[in-house]
A and B are shown apart, each in its own frame.
Chain A
């Protein structure tokens, strides 16, 4: 009777080896993945994390000799600790990336702590089991379970855990498994010391981890850092929006509130199409106004016109204009446009600025985010375009980025029709930008030159031949009559929600 019971307990302890080995490796993989997500350069990050983790396990193994009595109690205690630390590690890292300056310190401290605790587990367990088996049997059994657990973790993690559960849930789940081991042990071995203390601790820990697991999505949605699945090189929440810059395989992307603003792979198509069809038809343009476009790409294109003596850029968010001016990495993308002596940057609300403005310009580039809420929607109304008119010099024209005529056909034509209703002639056109799809613009003017006066030499995409092609609309993007977008109907928001709502 007592023989089978002991057998059972031995098996239980060996299964614990399997579980803790799985958990241990999972924590390591989570730390490595998070570090490469958040810090970029996955080879370096993974190598460093694995190295530190294994070294910390060594520290744990070394420290194990100082535990002399009550080994099972210590083992259970360590299980609980590993479970809690490992379970909350990804949440902790995730938050400290946004909110703390010493992210590296927190990252490596967590790895050292987890590694040390995990390193304690196997030596302690081997000493607990040392009287149950002979030495060769013990070593063989423990390490067999240990390595099976490792294999299990390494397959499970990329194939199942990351895609289906996400990093936060994965770590809460394995933290919970660790604590479950502790709970099972302290309900099986009833003769050990500090039993009720351990039990309460384990149950509280399990409960907290369970809550974390259940609410992991809410925690994650608190920010979008991880959902992009790309290497984030910069992230900041300004008063107006969340700014994220990612870089992967040499391609840099900017996300504002999780919406892609550009990809360095093909932004030249978007920005050349934004600026040149209109600006090249202005005779010797001298003064240019850009509303929105704080990333400086439109400025870069405008600077290619030698006659332009002054550019005014009005963008709400100083956080955007300053990183695209100050960061070497990002200002390399816009060729240092935001540092040009010909440029004046004003960080304020474009509508208010325009209402108070008394200057006129030869060409105006309007590059606002898509009209996805009422605040941005105001910048696409008849009232706004009436203010734009006051800022146009005789013979001047302007261009408006107008969302995708393919994905949001009504929205696109609504922008066109709204501008037309304000008394302008319009020339709608579109271009294919691989990372966006078909993208649309509306040019507005009283008179438009039939041909370009000057097209800069060094363009990668736009030339005069493209113009005819871009201003022709195939059937699936063809003209549609729409209502006019006004401050008192904001109809464009409704079109936009309908159309993009279907896509997303």
Chain B
């Protein structure tokens, strides 16, 4: 006992001494931790969503009647809502589970900049996708049309130069794929691949349709091309005899970035679509240009929302949908008021992903829900107080990618700012698809702030050894189901055809019906489902 007391005493004395030393040198930088910036994990809607697992909700206290109910306020839900309104239906509600609508196009803001929580850009759209062109024109993203009828985009929204750089062989190289730094074999394989993709851009299938286009539903279903859907991109590369690690890495990066999974899972048709569908024409931009904003696609989500704001209710969790005669009954939990509401409607547009639909639909269906895979992501917004520290060889670009890193690099949120500024926000992306989606999900939900801090720092330090000194704060968004992945066979899946068809008054708008999680597809599916619902309402 006394021995213990003695030890305690000593340690307290030592502590006091050490504290004295620390107090004596308050400004000694070596005593301070260099990476002592705050890290927060932003609350995503997953907690509310997980109430579905327990499935314990109060009995509905009231009944609300609307002509059409939209469940889900991502881009597809907002697009469906907009379409209903444009076509004269205002008696509808859109229910969103999160505190705001936007889905993968939500965004945040701090003192330095606005920034996205996920989707960052829209490629120059197919100029024949009239509904999308109209939407962009209505909101002044397109400012007019030139004498050839080509859209003129707002200059400030077209991604500025310098657009992309790759940290490769210890240096930042301009461009992605890089213009410099590749060896001859790598350049040759890349050129061969791009030539093949350029051929696909022009190619017309046996059904006289373009081989690859957006919306992807309008692409050719030529059996020769459909063979590509029967294999993964990794198998395609094998078959076509691509050898260099560079091209494998590059395509793996592209698949993860756009589809949320690696070449080992991605359908070769989807990967080719990514390269061959971008043929949009514009008066003042090329097909390879992209439209981007500090807050990413949140800019577009807000524009959609502005048209339907009065019909949108947030923090509403739909937990059961059933057909009763000609009507649809939707049971909704009002998270704020902790009560349930029953919505009765002629039609329902489900703009929710299929992993949710499988839980809330009381319906016999031929849909195989297991075909739909959604891998998790983290998206971290990193506030940097000295933007210049990120230059080196090539100036900080819009998109900055690290070769052979498993991350997807970072986007400079302030890139489209014309002002001179010292600070910036970087949006850092990481896709987890090495193991099964379920395993990856369990893993990432268990991690804390400190884990993510070290995780991100370790990755970025390969290109920026001193980045920790320049970070002001980090906000991590954990996305358990990041996006739908177009795995091999997705294009020819009967389940998708079934969903696209709908079910007498029940229609599916989510982009996972198409199989590719991009703004254009969500926008398109929303319109398709809205058209179906309007027709069905008339019949009823």
CA distance A382 to B163 in the complex (A): 18
Chain B residues near A349 (CB-CB < 8 A): 418-420
Q: Which 10 A-B pairs have the closest CB atoms?
A: A490-B161, A351-B418, A383-B155, A488-B158, A349-B419, A352-B419, A487-B160, A349-B420, A378-B418, A374-B395
User: Does B284 reach chain A (CB closer than 8 Å)?
Assistant: yes
Query: Which single residue of chain B is at the shortest CB-CB distance from A317?
Result: B420
CA distance A316 to B419 in the complex (A): 10
B422 touches A374 (CB 8 A): no
Query: Which single residue of chain B is at the shortest CB-CB distance from A493?
Result: B161
Mask: chain A, 231-247; 1 = CB below 8 Å from B; 0 = not? 00000000110000000
Partner of A490, one of B162, B285, B422: B162
Q: A352-B419, A486-B284 are in contact. List 12 more A-B contacts (CB 8 A).
A: A239-B422, A240-B420, A352-B418, A373-B395, A381-B155, A386-B155, A486-B155, A487-B156, A487-B160, A488-B155, A488-B160, A488-B285
A488 touches B395 (CB 8 A): no
Chain B residues near A355 (CB-CB < 8 A): 418
Query: Which single residue of chain A is at the shortest CB-CB distance from B153?
Result: A488
CA distance A240 to B289 in the complex (A): 30
Task: Tell me the residues in window 363-412 of chain A with beta carbons closer than 8 Å to chain B beta carbons.
Answer: 373-375, 377-378, 381-384, 386
User: Does B159 reach chain A (CB closer than 8 Å)?
Assistant: yes
CA distance A381 to B395 in the complex (A): 18
B395 touches A487 (CB 8 A): no
Query: Which single residue of chain B is at the shortest CB-CB distance from A494?
Result: B161
A488 touches B420 (CB 8 A): no
Chain A residues near B285 (CB-CB < 8 A): 488
B289 touches A488 (CB 8 A): yes
Chain B residues near A487 (CB-CB < 8 A): 155-156, 158, 160-161, 418
Min CB gap B463→A, angstroms: 19
Partner of A374, one of B156, B161, B419: B161
Chain A residues near B419 (CB-CB < 8 A): 349, 351-352
Query: Which single residue of chain B is at the shortest CB-CB distance from A490?
Result: B161
User: Does A489 reach chain B (CB closer than 8 Å)?
Assistant: yes
CA distance A98 to B461 in the complex (A): 31
Min CB gap B137→A, angstroms: 19
Can you show 23 pairs from A to B with CB atoms below 8 A apart? A240-B420, A316-B420, A349-B418, A349-B419, A349-B420, A351-B419, A352-B418, A374-B160, A374-B162, A383-B155, A383-B156, A386-B155, A487-B156, A487-B161, A487-B418, A488-B155, A488-B158, A488-B159, A488-B160, A488-B163, A488-B289, A489-B161, A490-B162
CA distance A357 to B160 in the complex (A): 23
Task: Tell me the residues in window 128-184 of chain B with beta carbons closer than 8 Å to chain A beta carbons.
Answer: 155-156, 158-163
Chain A residues near B284 (CB-CB < 8 A): 486
User: How many residue pairs bridge A and B at CB < 8 Å?
Assistant: 48
CA distance A374 to B395 in the complex (A): 8
CA distance A316 to B418 in the complex (A): 13
Query: Which single residue of chain B is at the shortest CB-CB distance from A373?
Result: B395
CA distance A488 to B284 in the complex (A): 9
Main SS at interface, chain B? loop
A375 touches B420 (CB 8 A): yes
Chain B residues within 8 Å of A, Cβ to Cβ: 155-156, 158-163, 284-285, 289, 395, 418-420, 422
Chain A residues near B160 (CB-CB < 8 A): 374, 378, 487-488, 490
Chain B residues near A386 (CB-CB < 8 A): 155
Task: Tell me the residues in window 105-128 of chain A with beta carbons closer than 8 Å to chain B beta carbons.
Answer: none
CA distance A357 to B162 in the complex (A): 27
Mask: chain A, 477-504; 1 = CB below 8 Å from B; 0 = not? 0000000001111100100000000000
Chain B residues near A352 (CB-CB < 8 A): 418-419
Min CB gap A377→B, angstroms: 8
Task: Tell me the residues in window 334-350 of chain A with beta carbons closer than 8 Å to chain B beta carbons.
Answer: 349
Query: Which single residue of chain B is at the shortest CB-CB distance from A489?
Result: B161
Min CB gap A421→B, angstroms: 10
Query: Which single residue of chain B is at the shortest CB-CB distance from A239?
Result: B422
Query: Which single residue of chain B is at the shortest CB-CB distance from A376?
Result: B420
CA distance A352 to B159 in the complex (A): 18
Min CB gap B294→A, angstroms: 14
Min CB gap B70→A, angstroms: 36
Min CB gap A188→B, angstroms: 41
Chain B residues near A351 (CB-CB < 8 A): 418-419
CA distance A239 to B422 in the complex (A): 8
Most B CB atoms within 10 A — which of A239, A316, A487? A487
CA distance A378 to B156 in the complex (A): 11
Q: With A373-B395, A374-B395 in contact, do A488 and B422 touch (Cβ < 8 Å)? A: no
Chain A residues near B155 (CB-CB < 8 A): 381-383, 386, 486-488
Query: Which single residue of chain B is at the shortest CB-CB distance from A386?
Result: B155
B418 touches A488 (CB 8 A): no
Most B CB atoms within 10 A — which of A240, A383, A384? A383
Chain B residues near A486 (CB-CB < 8 A): 155, 284
CA distance A493 to B161 in the complex (A): 10
Chain B residues near A382 (CB-CB < 8 A): 155
Task: Tell me the residues in window 265-317 of chain A with beta carbons closer than 8 Å to chain B beta carbons.
Answer: 316
Query: Which single residue of chain B is at the shortest CB-CB distance from A316?
Result: B420
Most A CB atoms within 10 A — which of B161, B284, B395? B161
Min CB gap B221→A, angstroms: 35
Query: Which single residue of chain B is at the shortest CB-CB distance from A377?
Result: B161
Most A CB atoms within 10 A — which of B156, B158, B163, B419? B419
CA distance A427 to B344 in the complex (A): 70
CA distance A335 to B163 in the complex (A): 45
Chain B residues near A240 (CB-CB < 8 A): 420
Min CB gap B94→A, angstroms: 35
Chain A residues near B418 (CB-CB < 8 A): 349, 351-352, 355, 378, 383-384, 487
Query: Which single residue of chain B is at the shortest CB-CB distance from A374?
Result: B395
Min CB gap B396→A, angstroms: 9
CA distance A187 to B305 in the complex (A): 84
CA distance A373 to B163 in the complex (A): 14
Min CB gap A374→B, angstroms: 6
CA distance A189 to B1 in the complex (A): 63
Query: Which single residue of chain A is at the shortest CB-CB distance from B285?
Result: A488
Most B CB atoms within 10 A — which of A373, A487, A488? A488
Chain A residues near B420 (CB-CB < 8 A): 240, 316, 349, 375
CA distance A351 to B416 in the complex (A): 12
Mask: chain A, 406-440; 1 = CB below 8 Å from B; 0 = not? 00000000000000000000000000000000000
CA distance A161 to B465 in the complex (A): 37
CA distance A490 to B174 in the complex (A): 14
Chain A residues near B162 (CB-CB < 8 A): 374, 490
CA distance A7 to B477 in the complex (A): 81
Chain B residues near A488 (CB-CB < 8 A): 155, 158-161, 163, 285, 289
CA distance A384 to B418 in the complex (A): 9
Query: Which single residue of chain A is at the shortest CB-CB distance from B162?
Result: A374
CA distance A382 to B284 in the complex (A): 11
CA distance A352 to B421 in the complex (A): 11
CA distance A489 to B418 in the complex (A): 14
Query: Which single residue of chain A is at the shortest CB-CB distance from B290?
Result: A488
CA distance A308 to B294 in the complex (A): 41
Query: Which single residue of chain B is at the shortest CB-CB distance from A382?
Result: B155
Min CB gap A242→B, angstroms: 13
CA distance A382 to B283 in the complex (A): 14
CA distance A127 to B223 in the complex (A): 104
CA distance A382 to B418 in the complex (A): 13
Min CB gap A482→B, angstroms: 16
Query: Which single residue of chain A is at the shortest CB-CB distance from B154?
Result: A383
